């Protein structure tokens, strides 16, 4: 089951990259995708049955524009701080707590935090994330959690947990 999911992903990627549909390309692509699925099938997905639930993809489509908007906001935020003559930064590392369980969800949360305004995830230990914040507004854990994590956590829980 795990290997089938990885095979489909690898083969689709091959089709996108070659964008040719004659039998030579297809057979080589099949072979390579099969090899990849055989070698790395165990480490790609933990719970393959989740890959076939349409609901998760719909939530992902809802998450994507929010993520992109935060990302663009982050860019203007950093550009403002970099180009301002006095550099208005108050950096520091704060600790926040997440309720997400699966590894994949935590990875996506950490990536989303890195791409959003002024925050960069430094380390994960169990359910605590250490975040470097370029403009610390609150050193308290609960307050920081509300400001940083809660925007994405609700949606990511629906996608991955």
Partner 1 sequence: MNEIIGMIIIVVGVVFDTIGCIGLVRLPDVYNRLQAATKCVTLGTCGIMFGIFIMQGFNSLGIKALVCIPFIFLTAPTAAHALARGAHLFGVKLWEKSVCDKYEEDKKEM
Of 3-11, 32-40, 125-133, 150-158, the window that binds partner 1 (rule: CB under 8 A) is 125-133
Of 22-30, 34-42, 55-63, 108-116, the window that binds partner 1 (rule: CB under 8 A) is 108-116
Q: Six-digit token pair at 73?
A: 């906001």
By beta-carbon proximity to partner 1, the closer residue of 31 and 91 is: 91
Size of site (CB under 8 A) for partner 1: 38
CA atoms of 134 and 139, how far apart (whole Å): 12
CA atoms of 23 and 29, how far apart (whole Å): 10
Instruction: Please report whether residue 82 would count as binding partner 1 according to CB under 8 A.
Output: yes
Of 1-9, 41-49, 75-83, 150-158, the window that binds partner 1 (rule: CB under 8 A) is 75-83
- DSSP-H helix ranges across the chain: 2-18, 23-44, 54-83, 103-115, 141-148, 150-160
Secondary structure of 79-118 in the HEC alphabet? HHHHHCCCCCCECEEEEEECCCCCHHHHHHHHHHHHHCCC
For 60, the 3-state DSSP assignment is helix
Instruction: Please report whether residue 155 would count as binding partner 1 according to CB under 8 A.
Output: no
Instruction: Please report whether residue 47 would count as binding partner 1 according to CB under 8 A.
Output: no
Instruction: Please report whether residue 28 would count as binding partner 1 according to CB under 8 A.
Output: no
Write out the residues near partner 1 by the rule CB under 8 A.
Answer: 13, 16-20, 71-72, 74-75, 78-79, 81-83, 87, 89-95, 110-111, 114-115, 118, 120-123, 125, 130, 132, 134, 136, 139
């Amino acid at each position: 089951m795990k290997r089938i999911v990885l095979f489909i992903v690898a083969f689709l990627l091959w089709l996108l990259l070659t964008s040719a549909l004659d039998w030579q390309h297809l057979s080589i692509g099949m072979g390579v995708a099969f090899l990849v699925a055989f070698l790395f099938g165990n480490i790609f997905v933990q719970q393959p049955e989740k890959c076939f639930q349409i609901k998760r993809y719909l939530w992902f489509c809802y998450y994507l524009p929010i993520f992109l908007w935060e990302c663009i906001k982050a860019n203007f935020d950093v550009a403002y701080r970099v180009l301002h003559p006095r550099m208005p930064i108050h950096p520091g590392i704060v600790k926040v707590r997440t309720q997400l369980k699966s590894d994949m969800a935590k990875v996506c949360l950490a990536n989303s935090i890195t791409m959003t305004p002024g925050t960069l995830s430094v380390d994960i230990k169990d359910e605590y994330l250490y975040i470097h914040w370029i403009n610390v507004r609150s050193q308290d854990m609960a307050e920081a959690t509300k400001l940083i994590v809660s925007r994405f956590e609700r949606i990511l829980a629906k996608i991955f947990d």
